[in-house]
A and B are shown apart, each in its own frame.
Chain A
């Protein structure tokens, strides 16, 4: 019997999970996929928004601004890549400049620190490669970038270290309540019993909600597509560059990533089905067309990957963070952007709601907030030398593009909530994220997984269930 069961191990579920492990409660997080961060959290813009955008008074405004202030310490504690590079919203005509002023005022009301309106010269000083057509910008120094799946995985791992449980391939297909106890039926395996349930099922949060509550919202998928460019392009800008939203749409953003790549996107397309069909030439074409306005020359030949994610847009137009009509069942849903930025703050409030409705939560004295991850490529030569002396596996580079060593890969498999798939390793320590996209290191990562997990090579898969790599031995 658990005190709290969380459905969904995206950034929202993972943040709530780790927050709960600060207390003496028995908590489990369930996800239908074979790893954490397999939903919206793995494919988004990875921006920690400053918070000038959401309308004053909304939950989005509150949690975004608050959340963004929590990121720096959180990422330091969990050894997750994060960088406060600042954001610029660019204006290209008088109408844009009017809108920027409004955004600025909205940001002031939301209590975003350090906002400033910049004139053309000031913008170009900050970003000399920008299109010369720029007229001015809103500058938000607290805007930042983060590794969203790294953070989610680190939160889950740290929660497990602190006594929480994480269960993958655990799709919740039905929920019943007997007295004060919820019974979550799983597609496979024993049902999970718990006194409280938090619904953080992302795109499927309406479905999970409706398993026990009356329908009260709908989640609609909206697709966003991206280009990820080689690190050779990462340095052409420093800040996250938004276009001023106008009647033509929200525009696209261009940003460096925490690992030094360049991200261009997203497109925006409402879908009927909650099934990600991937990128389309149309969507990619639109991105190229729209991005030109910000940077005239983007070298798309340096593209290393395209991806797409589904936004979970609720018909309520704000985050849904509340106890439902069914006592003890809490929704943390409708997490469109800035859901990632808001997650650390949302987690704190969800725990507060749980306490208000009766969860007895004593702080854990021995809570361990820190986790350390070795990133070979970031070490100094001396540190590298010492590390290799201790463990020669850190001297064997498996991924040549990102300079990831065997030691790091083994570690990513052996850690709590460790990797079990080739892409799981990639999301934890980056082999295959580089320009050759795993062409060289994929087979070697697979070999290491097979060895460490004591599985035959053929049983090691790429990503989701069903994504087998090999079909057997040769003749």
Chain B
């Protein structure tokens, strides 16, 4: 089997990337998806709030996915669902499914769009028993929204990331008693609109600077112990609170799913746990591109779509042999910035580049300053910067032509 382009992952990133490449003249395109349906994680996000930027209207997750899928379905893009990619070796993709068996597929270009997975109890070392009733928020969401089953009656949620907040509301709507949302940091990691709409509107208390320090229950979960933490995030003795509950949902972060990338020898960025890419979304291997949550975890699908279109367009350029290489600058991070994507910028063309980034804690009245050595290239005033809200700035390659060295992006107090 041979394709011009194989896209791995049929979520919003993979769908948009494939379609964009197709629109740019690439006809033999294949999308491989391990689930039975296309759409990725959107299928279980039945709440509103998707697509305000892309479609200028508020859609649910499945509605947004449907629009992306429809475009692909009316094109000549081929799709293999229920198909798992086992590994990638030099643009040969090894995959299996029950119909075709074991396949080795040759691709002239590849776009990686495998998304991310949730961090688990093990990753954060929660002590205690190992009863049932402890779910990652996404797994619970899947049971409830896709399979139609309830996972518990009395719930505590650890982590105030968006999935945690949305699941607090979802569980409450299904008649469960959500007793608390516990957050380790002194601020929430969710979007402000979700704090209001999911917690405040349902009288669910949010405990900032707290964590779960014990889990009790031999068959099913019976209770959890929660403690306040000090500024080093260490539990404070004497602050123990016991919550009787049968369910603990974990919303403690997402990690880009890059096992395939690692095995293929692609370079990863320890700051994002995602791939290192340049402004064309090309990875360290020529002809292999990446987009969506496999690169870094986005909070809005609209940005995923945009990033994926960029990847698709550039994959098409690469396949048509029109992508050129020139001087490359690295994007480094300074004060207050935890990561930036892309990590590399190639100066071959005069284009605008959107740089995505996150800040390490809430900041107020700052400037995002782009510098090369002491020379300021650009700066952007920001009133509020929250870790939960991905930031972006736009640079032009023109601005970078004359500089000698890499660029550093950092926060500085605004005057």
Contacts and interface: CB of A to CB of B under 8 A. Distances in A.
Interface of A: 228, 232, 275-281, 284, 300-301, 303-307, 381, 384-385, 388-389, 392-397, 400-401, 403, 435-437, 439-440, 442-443, 457-458, 461-475
Contacts of B150: 470-474
Contacts of B142: 443
Given A284-B127, A436-B117, A473-B149, A395 B97 contact: yes
Contacts of A439: 117-118, 120, 136, 138-139
Interface stretch (B20-28, B213-221, B296-304, B375-383): B213-221
Nearest to B130: A278
A221 to B, nearest CB: 15
B274 to A, nearest CB: 15
Interface stretch (B98-106, B194-202, B391-399): B98-106
Contacts of B98: 388, 392-396
A446 to B, nearest CB: 9
Contacts of A284: 125, 127
Given A280-B127, A400-B84, 10 more contacts: A278-B215, A279-B128, A284-B127, A307-B130, A381-B94, A388-B102, A395-B100, A396-B97, A397-B96, A464-B219
Given A395-B97, A443-B139, A467 B34 contact: no
Contacts of B238: none
Interface in B123-169: 123, 125, 127-133, 136, 138-139, 142-144, 147-153
Interface of chain A, helix or strand or loop or mixed? Answer: mixed
Contacts of B100: 395
B121 interface: yes
B120 A384 contact: no
| A-B pairs, 6 with minimum CB distance | A466-B219, A392-B98, A395-B98, A467-B132, A462-B132, A397-B84
A31 B253 CA distance: 40
A135 to B, nearest CB: 32
Interface in B244-263: 246, 259, 262
Given A458-B149, A470-B150, A389 B101 contact: yes
19 contacts: A275-B218, A276-B129, A281-B235, A305-B122, A381-B94, A388-B101, A389-B101, A397-B84, A400-B34, A439-B118, A439-B136, A443-B147, A463-B132, A465-B219, A466-B219, A467-B220, A470-B143, A473-B148, A473-B149
Nearest to B273: A301
A287 B175 CA distance: 42
A300 B153 CA distance: 33
B174 interface: yes
A474 B157 CA distance: 19
B167 to A, nearest CB: 13
Contacts of A471: 150-153, 246
B82 interface: yes
Nearest to B234: A281
A278 B150 CA distance: 26
B220 A228 contact: no
B220 A466 contact: yes
B86 interface: yes
B178 to A, nearest CB: 14
B96 A395 contact: yes
Contacts of A277: 128-129, 216
Contacts of A303: 122-123, 125
Residue of B94, B118, B125, B129 most packed against chain A (CB within 10 A): B125
Contacts of A473: 148-150
Contacts of B262: 232
A284 B122 CA distance: 12
B219 A395 contact: no
Contacts of A461: 132
A403 B235 CA distance: 38
Contacts of A228: 122
Contacts of B139: 439-440, 442-443
B122 A437 contact: yes
Contacts of B104: 381
